């Protein structure tokens, strides 16, 4: 019990301790089947639906019930004393899915990070552990809550113990009090096992009396005052039910022995040992990153486990002194900073190529300061502009591209950025899902992002000059966090061999991307509007065609309705089985159409294609800014391979494989004051990198020949002259060539080429027999990564792959595929980034006004100023072609035209 004394009245309020017990296996298994496994997995292939659902239930019940003590019980195995008595106990249960088994250790790791005890015991079930804790907790005067999906636990319900039973999925819990149990089953909780003994438990494979349901069982128990008396008076019960009872008395008595929970186990921990303690936030956040749990679930966890800043933490926050600069004082403050690195936090808002600046936080090892832009004197403005633009004044920021956009919108130039802590963290741990400043300070500095004053109290600021200005305090605090974090991350970057990559590529590229976002690309909205209307009409036509085939209208976007039509009404071959039925995803339907050529599938696939195109166009139109241009956001820290991505809108998923898809690119046009658009990209860059890294002589020779690469390699594999290579042979080798850069398996190749896996395997064997250097390189790549723990690109970008040593086959094979493709894809990503920087430097040196607009995969898009086309093309070819010194030439293709589509080559 806990005692709280009211400060005013002095009256003590005695509160009962509340013990929350969870049946780990039961809840995890329920979560596994409640959430589609195919929708929850990491990039490594680790399924996470059970972890997600269990975590969600746990956080909800911690929030809603506010327990003082909590623990989780797990089954250790099916080998229990019940199985020793009855060999068929739980025999009907299906084999535990591998996708589920691999998640239990993750759930237990999460519990460890949350400092929640979890217990299992050989020979007994989780129910028995819970029953023992319930008995001990009630004896200690605790209020007890039991979260479980196992009805056997209903026998533990009393006036002071309640079962929380999941009704639907993982969110709806029924509160099973004594009254609720009696209302549902007609007997008090202590006699629920007696009903179960008569009726049986299908999930435990305990057969009941044929023809006897819960109502009849409850009637007998109430009439004869309990199961023992029912058995004693069995000869008095008439009819068929009575005959069945007498014939199955042995089963009934056995069932009652087996469903009785053990309440006196010798456990190492008692309820008093289960008090809630502070979570290990750093370990928890690291695991959430590994599981790729972001957004709402992370917020709920943090809100429940750290609801306010006054919660105790493992280590202190930040201790610093600072001031708010008065108008006119900026110049003197900045002059006094000298040339030591300064942590800088820009307060404001940014996005879509522009932004707003409200103030600055500065931090050095000696102290901190804040200045708000409002109230600036002309002298302040000048002093700050000069300091920001001074490359000799080193600045450290976190995720600086957005703030740079805001600075440039204000007319300020940022130079001297020596470290961006978000980029540094990305270089060190590229598979992390979040590079939030608060998470990084906790992970690397073991400190909360808050300040501690000299008295050790958790306050944000002690300096009277700052007063109640929380904005100033927070900005200075963030600046100091960035400064301290940079020291740790600089060491980590150096240790990972990523200093050159950060200094020569990622940091300079940040400025280039900001410039490209600021410029944007012009859009012909009339063309896109017309295209959107066209695809809307095509959607309706495709839907009408589909409905005409089946003679009714359905929701073509509903998997359940499609399952009924395809597999019940049209009796088509079954696709892959999922938790929600036979899959109706695009790949499965395409394969089904190849098999059946059914007109309904043809219309359905057409409907999906045009729907996707229409949605793409709608998304583009929403992002057109008042200047008539789209200003996408380029992301440097999303793809673990180093590739750039783009959002709001995503210009990298504009379809190019169909004429209709390419029509969307016609909507991206040259802007006013410019002559045309130009596109430039690398030809077969992944395979050229493969040739360089593998040093395969035949592959290098194929590229140096200058002839069609895929025909040359096909000729080598099939032993024919390149001039007589068939279209089919070239297609097969082209799929192989590109697939190798992505860790393609024989099964994957068979799916691509619509051939048997055995034929695909034979094709791969012939390929590797021909190009032995590639075979040896790929084999050595995985073996080397298994020894070192990481792969590396030409420029030293590492990707760490701990799952190469996993005992989970699925995770290990996924890691092996990553080990195969990361050096090639990552090197291609590094190369295009270097090319961007070289091209921009050459543009600046030549004084050209043409400008770089987009980077999409291996392609760069430029806006060509009048009269500069030839000079720009020569410059781009030279700089892109010399971006890396490879054993094979870098072939650059260039095209120009009034639109992105017309500039294709």
Q: Are residues 499 and 529 in the same domain?
A: no
- How much of the chain is helix, strand and coil, in % rounded to 5? 50, 15, 35
The DSSP secondary-structure symbol of 447 reads -
The residues, any chain, with a CB within 8 Å of residue 552's CB and separated by 6 or more, are none
CB 49 within 8 A of CB 31: yes
Token couple for 833: 């980034």
Q: Are residues 588 and 448 in the same domain?
A: no
Question: Across the 905 residues of the chain, what is the mean pLDDT of every consecutive 10-residue run?
Answer: 43 71 92 81 84 91 93 86 77 75 93 94 91 95 93 92 82 87 91 87 81 87 87 85 83 84 92 92 85 77 67 50 92 93 95 92 94 93 97 97 96 97 95 86 81 36 42 92 95 94 97 97 97 96 95 92 92 83 86 90 94 94 96 94 92 85 94 97 91 91 84 84 85 79 74 80 84 88 89 93 79 86 93 98 97 95 97 97 94 96 91
At which of 630, 651, 674 does a domain end? 630
If phi > 0 it is left, if psi is from -120 to 50 it is alpha, else beta; for residue 352 that is: left
Q: Are residues 512 and 544 in the same domain?
A: no
Distance, CA of 286 to CA of 399 (rounded, Å): 20
At which of 574, 609, 630 does a domain end? 630
Q: Are residues 337 and 371 in the same domain?
A: yes
CB 130 within 8 A of CB 154: no
Distance, CA of 568 to CA of 844 (rounded, Å): 65
CATH of residue 172: 3.40.50.1010
Token couple for 793: 């690109």
Residue 424 domain boundaries? 315-520
Distance, CA of 897 to CA of 600 (rounded, Å): 40
Phi first, then psi: what are they for 207, rounded to 5°? -70, 140
C-alpha dist (Å) from residue 797 to 168, 235, 508, 684, 793: 46, 81, 16, 21, 5
Token couple for 12: 């003590």
On whether residue 494 sits in a domain, the answer given is yes
On whether residue 815 sits in a domain, the answer given is no
C-alpha dist (Å) from residue 378 to 331, 364, 416, 468: 11, 25, 23, 27
The DSSP secondary-structure symbol of 459 reads -
Q: Are residues 37 and 140 in the same domain?
A: yes
Token couple for 478: 């963030």
**CA-wise closest residue to 154 among 196, 199, 124, 212:** 196
Give SS3 for 210.
coil
Which residue has 């279209």 as its token pair? 727
Token couple for 476: 């200075």
Distance, CA of 895 to CA of 516 (rounded, Å): 20
Q: Are residues 508 and 539 in the same domain?
A: no
The residues, any chain, with a CB within 8 Å of residue 121's CB and separated by 6 or more, are 76, 128, 129, 265, 267
Which residue has 């435990």 as its token pair? 204
On whether residue 217 sits in a domain, the answer given is no
At which of 598, 630, 662 does a domain end? 630
On whether residue 501 sits in a domain, the answer given is yes
On whether residue 360 sits in a domain, the answer given is yes
Cis before residue 51, ω within 30 degrees of 0? no
CATH of residue 564: 1.20.1060.10
**CA-wise closest residue to 15 among 141, 162, 184:** 141
Is 759 buried (19+), middle (13-18) or exposed (0-12) by CB count in 10 A? middle
Which residue has 């990481």 as its token pair? 790
Q: What is the pLDDT of residue 769?
A: 86
On whether residue 84 sits in a domain, the answer given is yes
**CA-wise closest residue to 678 among 390, 876, 412, 882:** 876
Phi first, then psi: what are they for 792, rounded to 5°? -145, 140
Q: Are residues 269 and 131 in the same domain?
A: yes
Q: What is the pLDDT of residue 461?
A: 33
CB 845 within 8 A of CB 858: no
Q: Are residues 500 and 541 in the same domain?
A: no
Q: Are residues 551 and 511 in the same domain?
A: no
Distance, CA of 870 to CA of 875 (rounded, Å): 9
C-alpha dist (Å) from residue 124 to 25, 214, 262, 414, 753: 13, 27, 9, 65, 52
Q: What is the pLDDT of residue 467?
A: 36
Q: Are residues 68 and 115 in the same domain?
A: yes
Torsion of CA 805, 806, 809, 814, to 10 degrees: -70
Q: Are residues 100 and 178 in the same domain?
A: yes
Q: What is the pLDDT of residue 665?
A: 95
Instruction: Count CB-CB contacts under 10 A for residue 100.
Output: 18
The helices-and-strands tally (H runs, E runs) of the chain is: 36, 29
Distance, CA of 181 to CA of 162 (rounded, Å): 10
User: Kind and range of the H or E element at 141?
Assistant: none
Q: What is the pLDDT of residue 803?
A: 84
Give pTM, 2 decimals: 0.74
Phi first, then psi: what are they for 680, rounded to 5°? -140, 130
The pairing of strands 633-635 and 645-647 is antiparallel
Number of domains in the chain: 3
* 746-753 vs 727-740: helix crossing angle, rounded to 10: 140
Strand partners for 677:
863, 897
Phi first, then psi: what are they for 349, rounded to 5°? -145, 150
Give SS3 for 78.
coil
The DSSP secondary-structure symbol of 587 reads H
The pairing of strands 322-324 and 354-363 is unpaired
* 709-718 vs 757-770: helix crossing angle, rounded to 10: 100
Phi first, then psi: what are they for 39, rounded to 5°? -95, -5
Distance, CA of 323 to CA of 371 (rounded, Å): 9
Q: What is the pLDDT of residue 873?
A: 97
Token couple for 854: 């987009």
Instruction: Count CB-CB contacts under 10 A for residue 189.
Output: 22
On whether residue 399 sits in a domain, the answer given is yes
Distance, CA of 259 to CA of 155 (rounded, Å): 10
Distance, CA of 737 to CA of 731 (rounded, Å): 10
Distance, CA of 151 to CA of 163 (rounded, Å): 9
Phi first, then psi: what are they for 117, rounded to 5°? -65, 140
Distance, CA of 158 to CA of 188 (rounded, Å): 9
Distance, CA of 696 to CA of 308 (rounded, Å): 60
C-alpha dist (Å) from residue 76 to 24, 26, 57, 102, 703: 11, 12, 22, 14, 58
Distance, CA of 514 to CA of 631 (rounded, Å): 10
Question: How wide is the angle at C-alpha 105 spanned by C-alphas 101 and 108, nearest 5°?
Answer: 130
Q: Are residues 401 and 485 in the same domain?
A: yes
Q: What is the pLDDT of residue 107?
A: 95
CATH of residue 342: 3.30.420.10
Max intra-chain CA distance, the chain: 108
User: Kind and range of the H or E element at 73?
Assistant: strand 69-73
Question: How wide is the angle at C-alpha 192 spanned by C-alphas 187 and 197, nearest 5°?
Answer: 120
Per-position DSSP letters for 8-53, written without gaps between them = TT--EEEE--EEEEEEHHHHHHHHHHHS-GGG-B-TT--B-HHHHH
On whether residue 301 sits in a domain, the answer given is no
């Amino acid at each position: 019990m806990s005692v709280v004394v009211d400060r005013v009245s002095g009256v003590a309020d005695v509160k009962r301790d509340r013990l929350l017990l969870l049946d780990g296996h039961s809840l995890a298994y329920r979560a596994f089947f409640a959430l589609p496994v195919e929708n929850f997995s990491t990039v490594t292939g680790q399924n996470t639906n059970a972890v997600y659902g269990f975590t969600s239930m746990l956080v909800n019940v911690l929030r809603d019930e506010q327990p003082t003590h909590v623990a989780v019980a797990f089954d250790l195995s099916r080998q229990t004393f019940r199985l020793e008595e009855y060999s068929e106990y739980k025999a009907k249960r299906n084999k535990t899915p591998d996708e589920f088994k691999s998640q239990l250790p993750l759930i237990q790791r999460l519990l460890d990070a949350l400092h929640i005890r979890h217990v299992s015991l050989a020979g007994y079930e989780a129910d028995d552990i819970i029953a023992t804790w319930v008995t001990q907790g009630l004896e200690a005067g605790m209020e007890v809550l039991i979260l479980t999906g196992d009805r056997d636990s209903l026998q533990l319900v009393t006036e002071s113990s309640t079962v929380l039973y999941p009704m639907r999925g993982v969110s709806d819990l029924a509160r099973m009090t004594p009254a609720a149990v009696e209302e549902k089953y007609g007997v008090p909780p202590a006699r629920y096992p007696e009903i179960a003994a008569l009726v049986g438990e299908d999930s435990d494979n305990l057969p009941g009396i044929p023809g006897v349901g819960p109502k009849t069982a409850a009637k007998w128990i109430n009439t004869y005052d309990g199961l023992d008396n029912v058995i004693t008076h069995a000869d008095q019960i008439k009819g068929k039910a009575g005959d069945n009872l007498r014939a199955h008395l042995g089963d009934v008595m056995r069932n009652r022995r087996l469903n009785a929970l053990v309440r006196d186990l010798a456990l190492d921990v008692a309820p008093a040992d289960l008090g809630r303690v502070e979570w290990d936030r750093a370990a928890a956040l690291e695991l959430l990153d590994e599981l790729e749990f972001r957004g709402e679930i992370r917020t709920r966890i943090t809100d429940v486990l750290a609801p306010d800043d006054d919660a105790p933490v493992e280590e202190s926050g930040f201790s610093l002194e600072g001031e708010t600069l008065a108008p006119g004082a900026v110049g003197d403050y900045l002059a006094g900073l000298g040339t030591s690195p300064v942590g800088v936090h820009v307060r404001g808002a940014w996005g879509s190529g522009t932004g707003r600046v409200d103030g600055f936080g500065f931090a050095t090892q000696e102290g901190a300061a804040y200045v708000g832009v409002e109230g600036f004197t002309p002298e302040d403005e000048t002093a700050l502009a000069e300091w920001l633009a001074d490359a000799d004044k080193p600045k450290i920021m976190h995720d600086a591209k957005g703030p740079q956009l805001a600075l440039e919108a204000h007319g300020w130039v940022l130079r001297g950025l020596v470290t961006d802590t978000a980029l540094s963290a990305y270089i060190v741990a590229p598979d992390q899902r979040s590079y939030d400043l608060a998470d990084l300070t906790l992970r690397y500095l073991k400190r909360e992002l808050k300040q501690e004053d000299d008295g050790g109290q958790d306050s944000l600021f002690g300096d009277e000059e700052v007063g109640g200005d929380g904005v100033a305090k927070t900005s200075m605090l963030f600046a100091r966090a960035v400064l301290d974090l940079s020291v740790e991350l600089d060491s980590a970057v150096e240790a990972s061999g990523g200093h050159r990559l950060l200094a020569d590529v990622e940091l300079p590229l940040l400025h280039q991307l900001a410039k490209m976002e600021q410029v944007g690309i012009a859009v012909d909205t009339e063309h896109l509007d017309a295209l959107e209307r066209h695809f809307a009409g095509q959607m309706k036509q495709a839907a009408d065609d589909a409905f005409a085939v089946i003679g009714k209208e359905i929701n073509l976007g509903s998997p359940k309705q499609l399952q009924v039509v395809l597999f019940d009404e049209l009796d088509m071959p079954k696709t892959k089985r999922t938790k929600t039925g036979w899959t109706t995803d695009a790949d499965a339907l395409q394969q089904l159409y190849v098999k059946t050529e059914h007109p309904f599938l043809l219309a359905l696939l057409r409907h999906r294609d045009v729907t996707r195109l229409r949605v793409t166009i709608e998304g583009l139109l929403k992002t057109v800014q008042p200047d008539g241009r789209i200003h996408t956001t380029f992301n440097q820290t999303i793809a673990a391979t180093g590739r750039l991505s783009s959002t709001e809108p995503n210009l990298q998923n504009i379809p190019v494989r169909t004429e209709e898809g390419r029509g969307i690119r016609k909507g991206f046009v040259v802007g006013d004051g410019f002559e045309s658009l130009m596109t430039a990209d690398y030809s077969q860059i992944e395979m050229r990198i493969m040739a360089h890294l593998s040093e395969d002589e035949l592959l290098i020779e194929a590229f140096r020949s200058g002839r069609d690469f895929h025909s040359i390699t096909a000729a080598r594999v099939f032993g024919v002259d390149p001039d007589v290579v068939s279209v089919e042979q070239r297609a097969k080798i082209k799929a192989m060539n590109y697939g190798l850069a992505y860790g393609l398996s024989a099964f994957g190749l068979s799916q691509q080429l619509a051939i048997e896996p055995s034929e695909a395997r034979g094709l791969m064997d012939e390929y590797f027999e021909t190009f032995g250097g590639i075979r040896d390189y790929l084999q050595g790549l995985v073996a080397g990564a298994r020894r070192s723990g990481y792969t590396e690109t030409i420029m030293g970008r590492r990707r760490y792959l701990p799952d190469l040593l996993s005992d989970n086959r699925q995770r290990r094979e996924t890691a092996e595929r990553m080990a195969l493709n990361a050096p090639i894809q990552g090197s291609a990503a590094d190369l295009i980034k270097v090319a961007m920087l070289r091209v921009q430097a050459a543009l600046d040196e030549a004084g050209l006004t043409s400008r770089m607009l987009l980077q999409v995969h291996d392609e760069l898009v430029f806006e060509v100023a009048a009269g500069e086309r030839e000079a720009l093309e020569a410059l781009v070819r030279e700089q892109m072609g010399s971006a890396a010194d490879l054993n094979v030439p870098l072939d650059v293709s260039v095209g120009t035209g009034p639109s992105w589509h017309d500039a294709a080559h």
